[in-house]
Structure 1
Amino acid sequence: MKSLRLLRLAVVVSVSSAPWVLLASGGTANAAATTYFVSPSGSDGNAGTSAAQPFKTIQKAADSTGPGDVVQLMNGTYRETAPGRDVVNITRSGIPGAPITYEAFPGHKPVLTPVTGWHGVRITGASHIKVRGLEVAGDAASISLEEARKQAGQKKAVFNTNCIGAYKDEKSGKASHHLEITGNHVHHCPGGGISAIDADHVTIDRNRVNSTSWYTEYATSGISVLRALDEGPGDPSQYKIRITGNVVHDNETKVVWTKLDRHSDGNGIIIDTLKDKDNSDPAYKGRVLVANNLSFDNGGSGIHSYKSQHVDIVNNTAYLNSRSTNMEPYANIFAAMSDDVRILNNVSYVREGKPTNSTHRNTNVTYDHNIYFGGEKPEAMGPKDLVADPGLAKPGTDLATADFRLTEGSPAIDSGTAFELPANDIAGKQRKAGSAVDRGAFEFSVSGEPADPVTAPARDNAVAAPVAPATGATTTTSPTSPETTETASVTGSGGLASTGASVVALTIGGAAVLAAGAAAFWLARRKRAGS
């Protein structure tokens, strides 16, 4: 019997190396797209267009690409080409229908290892980019906490290296958009894991992000979206950013955030400052979906929305987060200083003595159909929220042995509220249709067997048309009165759409993930959970 030892994402990507003809939206044939090959044993003097004559550096390939091109990395370790540089800085864009893709050569397991630079993978003002099936392994194992604390404030990249990060190009003002970061394993970067700053139309799907943020002097997290900017119209009835199916654990900030001279963040997943920005940028008007994620044993929260709006945190499992002893504890799954946030169908297993959720300066934040177990009494309780043991198979903080699936008799089975969800759960099991939705990231399996591998393109995992959630506990804050918790009706938000990640097939079961990534928060950061 297969064991689901949560979670190995074995990324199955099969992309032909043969050129293909790109058709523009008007039907006109453009130049054939090119596949570039990269190997540490190659040469940047090669043509790079065959596996027999690969480039040596990913940067050379990135600087050669055009719309529709594919960059395939062969076996080996990829480092910076010079001290302080990123392993790769992606500045060239694809176009609609013809993204530029970075992936492993079929059957290969390349590893990007940033040591002296700020990033493994940086996306700077580039759009229509896919990064999938790679591994980004930072050098945190070579750094001591004592050494990192002594270096805090000196802004040295080696202590702040991020795995995967997307940013605005400060020179041109171009923001990154239409990004798919899927099926990667990013870990042990002393800075952040996967981040998107000033970006839009971002899909972060089925990655494993662990053991990041330990030694940075900035307030980073495992997965974070900061100060999103609408590319085109912003509509709160349309999902433009999706964080789905990720496994996020062991991320913690152990060095003070030098901007405020205190520890902050180290969350599993954070949606951060989409409104009330400290610059002239407008509030983000699109909608964000955070669904089907497993977040456990992080220093800060499991998942939360901070100073944000139009966010749905649905069907996630969060276990024993808020482990940091260096800062005031964050709640397990919550919203703070946020508006129009729905927190539904989650399984929240809270560390002893730590907060469960929050009503802090929220307006129109709804908690309902969640299961809370352990920790402090919830500040907000919807009519269908439960305080009960969720009946997880074998929860724990060791990914190799833990099993977070539901067991028979769990109160999470068939007790959630119908909602717009990916068609499959985090393990690839198809979710039941109709109103019998299970709570948490895992759909109950009667046989106890792990789900079959997901072999269809991720577009088949798109978000369905919404169903209005049931009435819940809504936190409402009057501008002139103390915060209160009251019961209010919650309505559906119309035809919520999907950004639609594509073409990654994943098998789950085991203890590790093939992947890559890099996230950065060394730009401006914000005070998080208690201001």
Structure 2
Amino acid sequence: MSAVLIGSAIPLGFAGSPTAQAASRTYYVSPSGSDSNPGTSTAKPFRSLQKAADSTRPGDTVSIMNGTYRNKANGSDVVVISRSGRAGAPITFQAHPGHHPVINPVGAWNGIRISGASHIVVRGLEVKGDSANVSLADAERGASTKNGKFNTNCIWAEPNRTGAKPHHIDIVGNTVHHCPGLGIGSRSADHMTIDRNHVHSTSWYTVFATSGISILAAHDVDRGNPRKYKIRVTNNIVHDNETKVKWERCKCYSDGNGIIIDTLKDKAKANESGPDYQGRVLVANNVSYNNGGSGIHSFKSQHVDILNNTAYQNGRSTRMESYANIFAHDSRDVRLLNNVSYGRPGQSTNSKSRNEDVTYDYNVYYGGRAPEVKGPHDLVADPEIVEPGGDAEAAFRLREGSPAIGTAKALPEVTTDITGARRDTDAPDRGAYAFSTKGTAPDGASAAAGEAGSTAPQEDGSAPESAAEAGERSDEQSAGASDETGADTANDVRADGDSEPLAKTGAGVVLPLALAAAALAVGGGIIFLLRRRRT
């Protein structure tokens, strides 16, 4: 009986499958190909991305060759990914080695739409929207909720019509730009990784108040645990994202942020559905500059860590009251540590409004207004950034002598910097770029590794705002009322890495082994009772 129970607790991947698994395939796509081709060689590729996407099975790869790929008709998408991979066998969409394909949605709703699919990788692609050929005057006259021309998203993941939620989505190493709607985003998704992307010049003409990178109303597809990261936004460069057309919901200007973690709690208030998200979100090693709204912020969210980012002169929009560079608003259980925030004159620095258990510490603030809340190790000083600026070549590294060098809190969640170089663990630096490093991390090294230490004292305000919200989900500019100071508290957040205990993203062997152990105990107990009864 014990053997039977143990066997039932072990997945097929451990016990072995009675049937052979189909070998994974690579499908090739080229504008010179044909959808009547088999698509399994570079000599006879498919013509359309959709044909390749509809041919895939778990473990397959779609290798996209040189050329420009457009949507077939206005209001359609260039490609809809609706087939799922599985754990250990994702479906991958990537540039063919040595090639530089361009996905060019024109009049489309999306360049790439992930519709209710899971275990998907999108890697090394350029998604180029059509904003360069749209004028602000045209958008102000013609933008509407029913016109894809002004609302095109570059890469978007959302539930499908049956309600299936997208999950285990990796969007890595892409260049995403000039989409009138958002750059990279998801709604009701889980287990998202958005890493090493360059996102710029998006959100200009949409009526949906989008941002460069947006995680909206995340939904736990498995059990959520505030100690385990399930969503990661890491090592991205994000700039020139701004909303220039009014949001249709409030007829006001809103968002246009670099990175926003949006409405993970109290979803019904934002016309979203589902319970509060219980997984943890990591936002680390990003550079966000010259965006219309904030650089990075948490809005109506919980269980978020915003660590070692650099934000430079965001809040450039003159259409709305300036957002802060890096902050949390109406959030709880959020840590904002080791960030470099270089603000604009008159710009808000951070926020204490409606926050609960939100910690600001070890940040460097410069420019803008005085911080509303200041941790004991926060500094108000010039971070002395090398070659800051508003173009894609800006460096944002630290000069020798910067107060950000060697003064950060050691965070095992962030062991490398945005370049992949290992951070000095004895005296780490603040911001996305480390000045003092210990060589280069292995290829594909994650920003998150190891065991977290304890948080620093927090200052936070949870009193109502002095100005009423306008009803939109991103009215972050209102001021708070009072401070609270707490004592040091242990924070047991852990992430993937070599130190222990580990907190793996996704399924692991712990649960099956625990079930097996439980089955062994139950089986042994039953055998003991049977023997006792016979006696």
Give the TM interval when normalised to the shorter protein: 0.7 to 0.9
2:216 alignment partner, one of 222, 226, 237:
226
**Partner secondary structure for residue 150 of structure 1:** helix
**Partner secondary structure for residue 191 of structure 2:** strand
Match of 1:456 in 2: 443
**C-alpha distance in structure 1 between counterparts of 2:346 and 2:121, whole Å:** 41
1:393-412 maps to which residues of 2 (within 5 A)?
Answer: 393-400=386-393, 402-412=394-404
Letter in 2 for 1:485: D
**Partner secondary structure for residue 56 of structure 1:** coil
Match of 2:43 in 1: 52
1:276 alignment partner, one of 253, 266, 283:
266
**C-alpha distance in structure 2 between counterparts of 1:369 and 1:474, whole Å:** 15
Match of 1:259 in 2: 249
Match of 2:492 in 1: 494
- Retained in 1: the 8 A contact 2:228–2:505? no
**C-alpha distance in structure 2 between counterparts of 1:256 and 1:246, whole Å:** 27
Match of 2:318 in 1: 325
Letter in 2 for 1:336: H
**Partner secondary structure for residue 403 of structure 1:** coil
Shift of 1:85: 1.3
Percent identical: 58
Shift of 1:475: 3.4
Match of 1:164 in 2: 155
Match of 1:27 in 2: 16
Unaligned ranges ≥5, structure 1: 1-22, 502-531
Match of 1:431 in 2: 423
Letter in 2 for 1:27: G
**C-alpha distance in structure 2 between counterparts of 1:472 and 1:410, whole Å:** 25
**Partner secondary structure for residue 289 of structure 1:** strand
Q: 1:263-289 deviations in whole A, cap 9, x for unaligned? A: 100000000000011144100011101
**C-alpha distance in structure 1 between counterparts of 2:464 and 2:42, whole Å:** 63
Match of 1:370 in 2: 363
Letter in 1 for 2:288: S
* 1:345 matches 2:338: yes
Structure index of larger Rg: 2
Match of 2:474 in 1: none
**C-alpha distance in structure 1 between counterparts of 2:15 and 2:61, whole Å:** 23
Q: Which segment is superposed worse, 23-32 or 212-221?
A: 23-32
Match of 1:43 in 2: 34
**Partner secondary structure for residue 47 of structure 1:** coil
- Retained in 2: the 8 A contact 1:212–1:221? yes
Q: 1:159-199 deviations in whole A, cap 9, x for unaligned? A: 11010000011x21110000100000000001100001100
* Closer, same or farther: CA 409–113 of 1 in aligned 2, 3 Å: same
1:188 alignment partner, one of 159, 178, 192:
178
Match of 2:187 in 1: 197
Shift of 1:488: 1.2
1:56-75 maps to which residues of 2 (within 5 A)?
Answer: 56-75=47-66
- Retained in 2: the 8 A contact 1:120–1:162? yes
**C-alpha distance in structure 2 between counterparts of 1:478 and 1:256, whole Å:** 26
Q: 1:62-117 deviations in whole A, cap 9, x for unaligned? A: 00000000000000000012332111100000001100000000000000000021
Match of 1:80 in 2: 71
Letter in 1 for 2:261: I
1:235 alignment partner, one of 200, 214, 225:
225
Letter in 2 for 1:305: S
1:94-113 maps to which residues of 2 (within 5 A)?
Answer: 94-113=85-104
* 1:415 matches 2:402: no
Q: How many residues align?
A: 469
Which one has the bigger helix percentage? 2
Shift of 1:393: 1.2
**C-alpha distance in structure 1 between counterparts of 2:430 and 2:403, whole Å:** 9
Compute the TM-score of the two structures, normalised by the length of structure 2.
Answer: 0.85
Compute the TM-score of the two structures, normalised by the length of structure 1.
Answer: 0.85
Shift of 1:152: 2.6
